[in-house]
Structure formats: structure tokens, C-alpha cells
């Protein structure tokens, strides 16, 4: 990109930041997170020459790269706040939540496609797109209201991480299906087995690297530089974040998994360094939420396709309903099991409804391979766009209403969960 294009990108980002700053002055008075202002501003810009320029072939690669950095930093910061011990104590409940909140939307999405006359294979793949959760969209709102280190925060982050693993296999399945439709049965089976082996080996290598980093590598690196400067700790954080993020992507896992793992690995070092760790935390928060995180939410807002929703409303609304009903319904099954209260179930069920990530990638793969038509593609994008608009607003309302109750200390066992 030449200097003229860089200058153009800077000026266009200036307009988005200026509009977000002005809108944020109103939203903060209403106790609405500023990040929602970034989404709203970008949604409006989507239909202007500004939005068209940011999505042009000249500017979009750099804009998208900055948005990816925003995702990495947002999820690193979230990982930095995860209490690993509490996550272990809640691990069985988080697994139950993930199973229930993915299987029900999957079945409902399949039912919608079958009822409309589509085939079983396409219904299966579209059902898969109802499963993922875009935790990067919703978790910053948790952080805004200091709810990361609560039961609700642990459930949403934990289920989001497990969802990322499901997303990895979903993309792999769709890629294999697309690439092997024209091959003989034996060739297809061999490639599927090879791909599954590659993913399994990559996942094992990543887990080994994360464990070595947690036990030895990160503590050793933390002792190499003087500890009195937060900038040294931030440099180490970037090293670990980029290293694990890149390694997880190389291992064919989502870089999101690497970013959260990097935060978890760095948390003991931040805690051990006391005031230096606190200073580095505040600096990371400022850079993340003041710049890179907002660029990510600009990208999300520009990806929202309201026009598609108006053109293809029936299928889009049905697919949206499959997720919007299925995920809370699956979450509420944990209430009679004694693992969540009713308020927690409502909040978690809405929070894990956020989409507009992997399902869009899968839809694009299917469209490019001509396995779905423009009608289905538009419906998939529109359904995810609708969730991006509604879920953060509803989630913010629930937190504003019940936040003080949700911040209470987590109960020691199931029987202490209050069914209110």
C-alpha cells in the first residue's frame, strides 16, 4: 500500500472514530458500552461511500488486519482475567452448556432447512452454522460491567472457547466436503482421515506448547528483563500473544484459542509483579478498548447486511430464530440440573447468541463452491447480522438490570444455586 492509500485509510478511520466519540458521549450517559457505538456507526457507514472505500480491494486487507489485531488483543485481555482454578471447578457445567447450546440450534437449523425442502446434506451443514458463538463481540461488554470473574463470565468465556474448537472442525468438515465432492469414495475417505489426523496432531502440539509455556517458558522469559517497567511486561505479553496466536493458526486451530491461552499463561506473571502488573494491565486495556478493539467493532458493523435481511426476510428470520431460541433453551436445561439460576441462564443464554464469525466463513465457502445459492447465502449473512444488532443490546439490558446480583460470589456447590 502506498502513502496515498495509507493517508486515505487514516482519514476514513478518523471519521469513524470521531462519529463513535460523539455518539459515545450520549451512550455513556445511558450506561450503554462505547463499543456498541462503534458497531452502530459502522452499520450506518456500510451504505455510504466511506463504507465502500473501507471494503475496497485497496484498503480492506489493511483494515481487516487491524481488526484481526483487535480480536487478538481483546481476547488476550479476557484471558488475562480468567480464573483458571474457578474454570476447572466449573468445567463439567461448561461442557454441559456447550453441548446443549450447540446441539439444539443445530437441530432447529436442520429442521428449518428440511421443512423448506432442502436436502439432508445441505440441511446438516446449515445446521452447523447455527452452533458457533462470537464471544469476541459479547465478552467486552462483560468486561465493561466487571462481570468477567463471575459465574456468568466463566460460563460465556468457557463455552466460547469450546465453541472455537467446534468451529475448527466445522470449517474442516465443510472444506473437505467441498474439495472432495468430485472424487471417488475411497479418495474422499482417505483425505478426511488425513485431515482429521492433521487437526488432531496440531491440537496436541498446541496443548503441549501451552503447557510448556505455562510451566517454564513464560516464567523464564519474565526474569530476563528488569521488572520495574510495565513496558517490559507489555513487550513480553505481545511476544507470547503473537507466538501462541500464530502457532494456533499454524496448527489449524483458531487464533482466538491462542489469544485466550496467551492471556491465561501471562496472568500468573502479572499477579506476581504486583504494581507493575497492574500498570501493564491498565496500559493494555487502554490500547485495546481505545483503538484496536474499536477497529474490530467497526469491521463487525461494516459486515452487517441489513439490505439482505430486507430482501430475504423469511429464511433469515427462521435461521435467526433457530439460534435465538435454541441457545437459551439449551442453557435453561442447566437450571433444573442445579448448575445455573434463572437470571444466570437468561444472561448466559442471550450472551452466547452473538454470531457473525465462523458461520459467515462457512457460508462464503459454500457459495464460492456453488453448493448454496445467493438466496441461502444472503439468509445466512442476514441472520448473523440480526444477531449482531439485537444480542448486544438485549445482553446490555439484562446486565444493567441484574448486574449487581450476577456479581455475587459463585456458590460453593450446586445446591446453593438459587432458582429465582
What is the predicted pLDDT for the residue at 393? 85
**Count of beta carbons in the 10 Å neighbourhood of residue 408:** 11
* In contact, 144 and 33? CB cutoff 8 Å: yes
Q: Which three cell numbers stand for residue 327?
A: 441457545
DSSP 8-state assignment for residue 291: I
What is the predicted pLDDT for the residue at 205? 83
Evaluate if pTM is beyond 0.75. no
What is the predicted pLDDT for the residue at 274? 85
What is the predicted pLDDT for the residue at 189? 47
Q: What is the CATH number of domain 73-408?
A: 1.20.1530.20
Q: How far is CA 161 from the centre of its chain?
A: 9
* In contact, 38 and 294? CB cutoff 8 Å: yes
CA atoms 185, 188, 190, 193: torsion sign: negative
Nearest to 33 by CA among 135, 146, 128, 111: 146
* In contact, 200 and 252? CB cutoff 8 Å: no
* In contact, 387 and 354? CB cutoff 8 Å: yes
Nearest to 104 by CA among 330, 319, 346, 321: 330
**Who's near 111: CB < 8 A, 6+ residues apart?**
322
Nearest to 295 by CA among 142, 28, 72, 133: 72
Exposed, middle or buried: residue 26 (CB in 10 Å: 0-12, 13-18, 19+)?
Answer: exposed
> Three-state SS string across 195-222, please?
HHHHHHHHHHHHHHHHHHHHHHHHHHHH
* In contact, 206 and 260? CB cutoff 8 Å: no
Residue ranges for the chain with pLDDT beneath 50: 182-189, 191-192, 409, 411-420
Distances (CA, A) of 357 to 98, 193, 315, 322, 362: 17, 26, 19, 17, 9
Nearest to 405 by CA among 349, 345, 350: 345
Amino acid at each position: 500500500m502506498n502513502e496515498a492509500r495509507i493517508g486515505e485509510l487514516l482519514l476514513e478511520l478518523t471519521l469513524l472514530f470521531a462519529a463513535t466519540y460523539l455518539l459515545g458521549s450520549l451512550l455513556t450517559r445511558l450506561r450503554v458500552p462505547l463499543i456498541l457505538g462503534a458497531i452502530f456507526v459502522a452499520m450506518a457507514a456500510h451504505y455510504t461511500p466511506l463504507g465502500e472505500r473501507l471494503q475496497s480491494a485497496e484498503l480492506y486487507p489493511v483494515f481487516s488486519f487491524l481488526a484481526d489485531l483487535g480480536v487478538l488483543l481483546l481476547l488476550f485481555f479476557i484471558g488475562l482475567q480468567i480464573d483458571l482454578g474457578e474454570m476447572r471447578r466449573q468445567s463439567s457445567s461448561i461442557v454441559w452448556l456447550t453441548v446443549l447450546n450447540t446441539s439444539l440450534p443445530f437441530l432447529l437449523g436442520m429442521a428449518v432447512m428440511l421443512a423448506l425442502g432442502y436436502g439432508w446434506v445441505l440441511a446438516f451443514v446449515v445446521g452447523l452454522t447455527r452452533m458457533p458463538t462470537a464471544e469476541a463481540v459479547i465478552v467486552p461488554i462483560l468486561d465493561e460491567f466487571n462481570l468477567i470473574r463471575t459465574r456468568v463470565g466463566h460460563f460465556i468465556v468457557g463455552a466460547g472457547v469450546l465453541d472455537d474448537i467446534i468451529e475448527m472442525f466445522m470449517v474442516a468438515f465443510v472444506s473437505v466436503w467441498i474439495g472432495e465432492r468430485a472424487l471417488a469414495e475411497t479418495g474422499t475417505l482417505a483425505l478426511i482421515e488425513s485431515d482429521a489426523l492433521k487437526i488432531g496432531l496440531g491440537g496436541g502440539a498446541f496443548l503441549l506448547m501451552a503447557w510448556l509455556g505455562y510451566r517454564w517458558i513464560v516464567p523464564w522469559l519474565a526474569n530476563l528483563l528488569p521488572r520495574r517497567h510495565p513496558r517490559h511486561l507489555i513487550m513480553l505479553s505481545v511476544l507470547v500473544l503473537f507466538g501462541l496466536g500464530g502457532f494456533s493458526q499454524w496448527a489449524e486451530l483458531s487464533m482466538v484459542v491462542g489469544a485466550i491461552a496467551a492471556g491465561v499463561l501471562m496472568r500468573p506473571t502479572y499477579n506476581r509483579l504486583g504494581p507493575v502488573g497492574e500498570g501493564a494491565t491498565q496500559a493494555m486495556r487502554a490500547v485495546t478498548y481505545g483503538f484496536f478493539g474499536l477497529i474490530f467493532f467497526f469491521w463487525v458493523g461494516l459486515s452487517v447486511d441489513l439490505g439482505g435481511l430486507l430482501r430475504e426476510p423469511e429464511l433469515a428470520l427462521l435461521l435467526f430464530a433457530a439460534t435465538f431460541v435454541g441457545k437459551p433453551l439449551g442453557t435453561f436445561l442447566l437450571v433444573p440440573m442445579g448448575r445455573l439460576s434463572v437470571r444466570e441462564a437468561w444472561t448466559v443464554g442471550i450472551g452466547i447468541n452473538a454470531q457473525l464469525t465462523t458461520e459467515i466463513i462457512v457460508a462464503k465457502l459454500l457459495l464460492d463452491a456453488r453448493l448454496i445459492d445467493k438466496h441461502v447465502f444472503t439468509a445466512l449473512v442476514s441472520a448473523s447480522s440480526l444477531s449482531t444488532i439485537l444480542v448486544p443490546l438485549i445482553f446490555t439490558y439484562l446486565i444493567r438490570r441484574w448486574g449487581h446480583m450476577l456479581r455475587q460470589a459463585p456458590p460453593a456447590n450446586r445446591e446453593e444455586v438459587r432458582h429465582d
